[in-house]
Amino acid sequence: MKLVFLGPPGAGKGTQASMVCQRFAIPHISTGDMLRAAIANGTETGMKAKVFMDRGQLVPDEVLIEMVRERLNEKDCEKGFLLDGFPRTVDQAEALEGIAAPDVVVDVDVADEKLLDRLTGRRVCEKCRESFHVAKIGDAKVCSHCGGTLIQRDDDKPATIRNRLDVYHRQTAPLIDYYRGKGALRTVDGDQTPEKVFEAILVVLGG
């Protein structure tokens, strides 16, 4: 099972990916989380990526392609994987075809006007990376899953969110047609409760 989750920032890719990966026992590979870990560890890749991420721009393709190539070569990916946030450009998608072409690409579809509130109200666990929303958790500071500290992401500021949405429409949305052309695209309505979105994803995955 080789899966890709597509969708704009805040569509719920990360929220759904954790549930799907738990259900199918495959690794959840979030390139955003990998880059944030690299920043936290002060690596060269992290320092390079931070400049782009803080502006809401994409990190250069060559950095991401190499990072994903190495990750997919690890043993836990032998039985499948879920890529969350990669590919994001046609060049990344072409590279992935040469590494491990996805069987199914799930496009989590949510209109832009809903996304700003989802992202400005998001809190993420520093430890397990789970996403929450202040509408549900209020001003809780502790993750209900693992006890880690909840933080706000640096790029979840309104001006940066607008750049991320713009970048999504210009550089990533063309992948919808790219994967439709390959017969791999499955679109799911992401504007319903997380439980309903999960059910819809299970339907398109055939299980």
User: Would you name the residues annotated as active-site residues?
Assistant: 13, 88, 122, 153, 164
Total Cβ atoms within 10 A of residue 23: 13
Which of 86, 93, 104, 179 lies at the binding interface for ligand AP5 (CB under 6 A)?
86
CB of 165 to ligand AP5, least distance (A): 9
Total Cβ atoms within 10 A of residue 98: 9
Within 13 A of 136's CA, how many CA atoms are on the CB side? 11
Cis ω before 87 (30° cut-off from 0)? yes
Regarding 14 and contact with Mg ion (CB under 5 A), the answer is yes
Regarding 58 and contact with ligand AP5 (CB under 6 A), the answer is yes
Task: List Cβ neighbours of 28 (8 Å cut-off, separation of 6 or more).
Answer: 17, 18, 21, 82, 84
80 versus 194: smaller Cβ distance to ligand AP5: 194
Using CB under 5 A as the criterion, which residues of the chain lie in contact with Mg ion when the complex forms?
Answer: 14
Using CB under 6 A as the criterion, which residues of the chain lie in contact with ligand AP5 when the complex forms?
Answer: 7, 9-15, 31-32, 35, 52-53, 56-59, 64, 85-86, 88, 92, 118-119, 121-122, 131-133, 155, 164, 190, 193-194, 197
